A = this chain, B = another copy of it.
Amino acid sequence: MENPEIALWSRFESQFQVSDDPFHFTNSWVSATFFCENTSRHVWGFYNDRGCFVLRFMPDRPGKWRYVLSSSLPELEGLSGEFNCTPAPAIKGPVRCDERYHFCYSNGEPWYPFGTTAYVWNYQSEAVQEKTLSSLAASPFNKIRMCVFPKHYRYNLAEPARFPFPGNIEKGFDYSRFDTAFFDELEKQISRLDELGIEADLILFHPYDRWGFSRLPEEVDHRYLRYIVARLASFKNIWWSLANEYDLLKEKKMSFWDAAIAQIKREDPSGHLISIHNWHNPPDHYRSNAHWYDHHNPALTHASIQHHDMHFVPEWRAAFNKPVMIDECCYEGNVDLGWGNITAQKMVSLFWQAVCLGGYVTHGETYLNDDEIIWWSHGGTLKGESVPRIAFLRRILEEGPARRIEPLPWGSHWDTSMGMSGGNWGLFYFSDNCPAYKMMTMLPEGDEYQVDIIDTWAMTITPQPGTFRHGDKLALPGRPWIALRLQKI
């Protein structure tokens, strides 16, 4: 058989047929080492039921790759093979952290996260799933937070048809096996997202549970992690989110999270992005990082934070020295839960504030529907007014000079949010403050700038006549939601 040709960043897969034995889930294992010149990657295979072991790998460099199997099954031990990885210049590769506070594709092109949240869109009817994908396709969103396990919560009481483990809530679940049909479906969903250019920020554990998945025996948790990484690490658009609100998973100790993060880091040959997301109680949420998992852990690629106040972004950047993503900042909507009824104006404002301070924020929408299909959990149809404004901000950012925004030190302790990219290009956001003018003391001395007044709600960009230097006076509309774009001449 000729060596297969595998494009860079696409999936090599090989299947190995053995005896059909459900005990393979727990008792047998297969792994392989992949080599390409001086590069090697250790990859776990997984049992796909019906006597089939599967090995998957996403090559990260062109060239001839060889692999050799290890296995507890003598018939697989030592098997080997090879494939040619061909360059794929049109494919930008997985999203990575860039040198410090931002993200880029593997080819170095910048990538700006504009995420949304639909925790269990993957558990909804096929019709709702298709609506979700159409909504996403027409939206500015390029990342989605979604769960592996089903969700038990207000507005989330329907019983799913299928679970990661065989079984159901009446009879219980067989934790010694996995339901491969569930994972087949999950893989299709992640692939559909990838076709739309959307990253799947996959939440591996969460506390909203009536089935027992939030308090599995630790041995099952680790088997589950190995399984899901073996199945999904070859998906270009996968991210690992250890948990949503990890601190509400009261039965898991901090040592579990340390070990789980270390396991993924060790077993994912493709080094996908990894984070862990907090809940936190008052009054501790006033502190910048009390009761959070310690984001200093170098295995975490970025800080995934739940917080409603974007002013902390510069502090968190400095503290953790990695990208800061506010993966939950309240949702636009009208549910009765306090985090789920902010205005569209405020949602847009949170995006602008975070971006101007060198961070990123994740969208969510919680408008009540007669059918109880609410975007934040189920997906469906987006109806909030923030969406086009978020698209507007994304366009402004992507049309910028492809450099990263760094927050400027504040001129005064009540000041607005402002960030610049190397002194050449900047955004200055007044939020709901309404100054009638601005003394442009934030412009570096000596340089000249072209200034646009942006109405972030009306989505207008009004170039100002002339140029501006340090200390010049700029007349402003004196209404909320105004931003400035500054471009050095």
Write the residues of chain A forming the contact surface with B, with a CB cutoff of 8 angstroms.
279-283, 285-286, 288, 308-309, 311-312, 314-315, 330, 333-339, 341-343, 346, 368, 410-416, 430, 432-439, 476, 478, 480
A413→B290 CA distance, assembly (Å): 14
Contact A414:B312 (CB < 8 A) given known A286-B288, A346-B432: no
Can you give 23 contacting A-B residue pairs, CB < 8 Å?
Answer: A279-B413, A282-B410, A283-B314, A283-B315, A286-B286, A286-B315, A308-B414, A309-B309, A333-B434, A334-B436, A336-B437, A336-B439, A337-B412, A337-B414, A338-B433, A338-B435, A339-B412, A339-B413, A339-B414, A341-B433, A341-B478, A343-B434, A368-B436
With both chains docked as a complex, state the minimum distance between the C-beta of A374 and any C-beta of chain B, in angstroms. Answer: 12
Contact A436:B336 (CB < 8 A) given known A286-B312, A315-B286, A480-B343: yes
A282 touches B368 (CB 8 A): no
With both chains docked as a complex, state the minimum distance between the C-beta of A248 and any C-beta of chain B, in angstroms. Answer: 11
Contact A414:B330 (CB < 8 A) given known A432-B342, A432-B346: yes
With both chains docked as a complex, state the minimum distance between the C-beta of A384 and any C-beta of chain B, in angstroms. Answer: 11
Number of copies: 2
B412 touches A338 (CB 8 A): yes
With both chains docked as a complex, state the minimum distance between the C-beta of A236 and any C-beta of chain B, in angstroms. Answer: 34
A281 touches B337 (CB 8 A): no
With both chains docked as a complex, state the minimum distance between the C-beta of A408 and any C-beta of chain B, in angstroms. Answer: 12
B336 touches A285 (CB 8 A): no
A436 touches B335 (CB 8 A): yes
Measured CB to CB, the nearest residue on chain B to A346 is B432
Measured CB to CB, the nearest residue on chain B to A284 is B413
Contact A342:B312 (CB < 8 A) given known A413-B279, A439-B336: no
Measured CB to CB, the nearest residue on chain B to A318 is B283
